[in-house]
Amino acid sequence: MAEDMSTPDPETLSFEDALRALEQIVRRLESGDVPLDESIALYARGEELRKRCTERLQAAEARIQKLTVDAGGVVSGAQPFGAD
């Protein structure tokens, strides 16, 4: 799988698209039918996608942690998303 112009940059993918692409790579690697050089390229692409997914999840978690609920059930510390 040579890197070509049709392979989107992981930074431009949504979390869902990156996860789908990563799942496809895992299926191909698990099939055992991929030549060694292509397996190495797929693994490298998978690492890029895994990193992107992890970054997106961490960013979402940080945004959620900004929301706190006091004992009375009132949300405090809420900030609009993207107000970072």
- Burial classification of residue 49, based on how many CB atoms lie within 10 Å of its CB (0-12 exposed, 13-18 middle, 19 or more buried): buried
> pTM here?
0.69
pLDDT of residue 61: 85
**Block residue for tokens 């940080």:** 62
Which residues of the chain carry a pLDDT beneath 50? Answer: 1-5
pLDDT of residue 1: 42
pLDDT tens string 5-20: 467 788 888 999 999 9
Q: How many CA atoms lie within 13 A of 29 on its CB side?
A: 17
Calpha distance 2→30 (Å, rounded): 19
Q: Among the residues of 1-84, which ranges form H helices?
A: 15-31, 36-65
pLDDT of residue 24: 96
